[in-house]
Structure 1
Amino acid sequence: MSMAIVVAFLTSLFFISVSTLGNALSLNYYDQTCPDAELIVSKVVKDETTKDKTVPAALLRMHFHDCFIRGCDASVLLSSKGKNTAEKDGPPNVSLHAFYVIDNAKKEVEALCPGVVSCADILAFAARDAVVISGGPIWDVPKGRKDGRTSKASETIQMPAPTFNISQLQQSFSQRGLSMEDLVALSGGHTLGFSHCSSFQNRIHNFNSKHDIDPSMAPSFAGRLKSICPVNSQAKNAGTTMDPSSTTFDNTYYKLILQGKSLFSSDQALLTSPTTKTLVSKFATSKEAFSNAFVKSMIKMSSITGGQEVRKNCRVVN
């Protein structure tokens, strides 16, 4: 075979492998076009967190809710318009907040590099920064996501619910190419933030025909929750922090599951499968093991892509 043919063959192989990557992400995507994008986002997240300590938990949750519907395409940031009710107004998302942080970051990035950095990438950077600011691990975010043009509240029914059992959770995650380890590691995001009563009412009132309270819940813990969330309470913002160190990214969440002090059915469900139970114990014992697994799973989840454009304004399509 002549050298020219060999070169031509290798060249065609290269193009085939690149084109099959499609919307593949890369670590150096903005090196030439907007090298300071991540620094800008990080500064905005830091500044906003000093004003409101709930910002990191909100950003991490927002990214998760974005990626689970149509991939990480910033569709959760789009506003409802006309007859279309957008994702952010769907039942699981009405308690999402801090959208203004992404708006502010986008505005600053646009001023420097107009039309280059997607809202989806900005949200992925912000979620990583949220973890770092809270004392969690740092990682290099793969870049190059595009922003989606479709956002439907009706699709948010696909979000894993706090009432899910282990088989429902496994199905929800596996549909997105995520494993049981990813499920347990990403659930650890519940170390940050606050929950409204509605997400755990099912465990503390009329649990089933035999028990008023979920028997897997520590009685003292259930008693405390009942006092915060009495039956038929109309208090709009009643609820409690996800764990006692709710602004610190640590492995307390897993320790609480083992003590019967987790908030959601979906948290406690992690003890009902041998695979997930082993992982809960492992992460409860070692913050380092949890951090490493969390980073791996965040990179995997945030690499589910699906968009088509780079929005100029994160709330509206171009």
Structure 2
Amino acid sequence: MALVLVLIFSYLIGISKGQLRVGFYAETCPEAESVVSAVVRDALQSNPNTAAVLLRLHFHDCFVQGCDGSILIEDGPGAERHAFGHQGVGGFEVIERAKEQLETVCRGVVSCSDIVALAAREAVALASGPFYQVPTGRRDGRVSNISQAGDMPDVSDSIQQLKAKFLNKGLSEKDLVVLSAAHTIGTTACFFMTQRLYKFPPGGGSDPTINLEFLPELKAKCPQNGDVNVRLPIDRGSERIFDNQILRNIRDGFAVLQSDARLYEDQATKNVIDSYFGFLSPIFGPFFETDFVESIVRMGHIGVKTGSRGEIRRVCNAFN
């Protein structure tokens, strides 16, 4: 029943917001979504972590200049994708592979930014998350500049900074929590853990909000003088399944990332997390999957270019 609600609700969102719409390519390229689906499925068979990578790529694309494929451009060190805030972002080759196949069946029709959004949906579904309708019709941007990616949310941001950055994109405190819960799949590098484990301000040491049962486990995986490129699951115990376990971990002090842990220090975001685990939830409370779909569809509308704005790139890593 919950999945049915997700599908209906997200469909209504898709046909009611902006100039994007569900089924945009139904006549011009009816194979568009099935082609992207097949490419993503093949990529996940080779590397299951690709699901998290593609979901993160969609987020990072939308947070800089809107969802316009600007992060895909590779035209030198000044391109957006080389920004500090985009460290570790990947999945570019999957998007290029889908674009190449689409150009053989409907040349010059499907935008790279839509491919990113569709690939993220497939990634979520293949990780046992909800399958939702994706409003399409985005066009690709003509600007990709590293200087415009300086305000990405960061793992070391305070909760006030995170809330402000999301609000600046038209996203609520609830969106902040639910989209952060996308960390339910994937890994992070010890590089992002050093400060939290060994140099936590103001006096150094470890972040006191880390559960004392969890702290030795984190330090064993990321020793102080160890390899900062070693990776560890972001969602303890559920790294490849899209579910709300990440929110349980945040509540119980088992958050891996500092930015996730901060969500339980603010009353507004704490209330959102607790709402999924109340006595009457999920029977009468909010459904996490439904809320996630609402939030990611809303995020997918940030700064979109439609109509005559932007372009449909021939390849995703270069302007026409």
TM-score normalised by the chain length of structure 1: 0.88
The separation in 1 between residues aligned to 2:131 and 2:245, in whole angstroms, is 19
| Structure 1 residues 68 and 176: CA distance shift in structure 2, 3 A | same
Contact 2:191–2:229 (Cα < 8 Å) also in 1: no
The separation in 2 between residues aligned to 1:174 and 1:56, in whole angstroms, is 27
Partner of 2:289: 291
How do 1:255-266 residues align onto structure 2 when only pairs under 5 Å count?
Answer: 255-266=248-259
Percent identity over the alignment is 38
Partner of 1:316: 318
Aligned with 2:263: secondary structure?
A: helix
How do 1:44-123 residues align onto structure 2 when only pairs under 5 Å count?
Answer: 44-81=39-76, 85-123=78-116
Deviation at 1:316, TM superposition (A): 0.1
Partner of 1:239: 231
Contact 1:162–1:200 (Cα < 8 Å) also in 2: no
Does 107-116 or 235-244 show the bigger shift?
A: 235-244
| Structure 1 residues 30 and 64: CA distance shift in structure 2, 3 A | same
Deviation at 1:275, TM superposition (A): 1.7
Partner of 2:13: none
Partner of 2:30: 35
The separation in 1 between residues aligned to 2:212 and 2:172, in whole angstroms, is 32
The separation in 2 between residues aligned to 1:23 and 1:147, in whole angstroms, is 16
Deviation at 1:112, TM superposition (A): 0.6
Structure possessing the higher radius of gyration over alpha carbons: 1
The separation in 2 between residues aligned to 1:239 and 1:283, in whole angstroms, is 29
Structure 2 residue 273 is the aligned partner of structure 1 residue 275: no
Contact 1:80–1:89 (Cα < 8 Å) also in 2: no
Deviation at 1:31, TM superposition (A): 1.4
Partner of 1:222: 215
- Per-residue CA deviation, residues 46-65 of structure 1 (Å, 9 max, x unaligned), is 11101111111000000000
Contact 2:80–2:146 (Cα < 8 Å) also in 1: yes
The separation in 2 between residues aligned to 1:124 and 1:86, in whole angstroms, is 21
- Per-residue CA deviation, residues 236-268 of structure 1 (Å, 9 max, x unaligned), is 521311112211101110010111010122111
How do 1:177-256 residues align onto structure 2 when only pairs under 5 Å count?
Answer: 177-210=170-203, 212-233=205-226, 235-243=227-235, 244-256=237-249
CA RMSD of aligned residues (A): 1.8
| Structure 1 residues 217 and 143: CA distance shift in structure 2, 3 A | same
Deviation at 1:281, TM superposition (A): 1.5
| Structure 1 residues 284 and 68: CA distance shift in structure 2, 3 A | farther
Contact 2:55–2:123 (Cα < 8 Å) also in 1: yes
Bigger relative CO (Cα 8 Å, ≥ 6 apart): 2
The separation in 1 between residues aligned to 2:17 and 2:121, in whole angstroms, is 24
Give unpaired runs (5+ residues) of structure 1: 1-20
The separation in 2 between residues aligned to 1:120 and 1:314, in whole angstroms, is 9
Partner of 1:16: none
Give unpaired runs (5+ residues) of structure 2: 1-15
Partner of 1:5: none
The separation in 2 between residues aligned to 1:210 and 1:124, in whole angstroms, is 42
Deviation at 1:22, TM superposition (A): 11
- Runs of 4+ residues over 6 Å off in structure 1: none
TM-score normalised by the chain length of structure 2: 0.88
The separation in 2 between residues aligned to 1:142 and 1:22, in whole angstroms, is 9
- Which AA in structure 2 matches 1:295? V
Q: Which has the higher helix share?
A: 1
The separation in 2 between residues aligned to 1:275 and 1:289, in whole angstroms, is 18
